[in-house]
Amino acid sequence: MEENNRAKGSRYEDRAAAFLEGIGMTILERNYRCKVGEIDIIARDDKTMCFVEVKFRNSLKSGFPAEAVGVRKQQRILRTAQWYMKEHHLWGGSYRFDVVSVLNGDITHIKNAFGSF
């Protein structure tokens, strides 16, 4: 039986989280949802809060995984991160937006992949 997209996404998010932990990041939350959007992984890298989007592809037929994080997706992640920070009283301090790209099983971590507040 073929794996559905939600199960496949969860499997790749598990791999991404393990990868991030392997490079010393602390996973704070997975699949954070609020009324404005969702963030796949929220982590801490030393003193920096990281909001991480995970994208995967089995081939380049649809382009590189990170290319799927377009401007609209970035804006939704930014709004969701603002919501998270307000909800957890985390204003101030450093933060960044990363993308973990999985292509044919190879993981690439792109730090500061896009914008800020």
For each of the chain's 117 residues, which pLDDT tens digit applies?
456 666 666 888 999 999 999 999 999 999 999 999 999 999 999 999 999 999 988 767 777 778 788 899 999 999 999 999 999 998 788 999 999 999 888 899 999 999 876
Q: Model-level pTM?
A: 0.89
**Angstrom distance (rounded) from CA 40 to CA 31:** 4
Instruction: Give the count of beta carbons closer than 10 Å to the beta carbon of residue 113.
Output: 19
The H-assigned helical ranges of the chain are 5-22, 71-87
Is the domain spanning 5-110 CATH 1.10.1040.10? The answer is no
d(CA 67, CA 30): 22
Listed by start position, the domains of the chain span 5-110
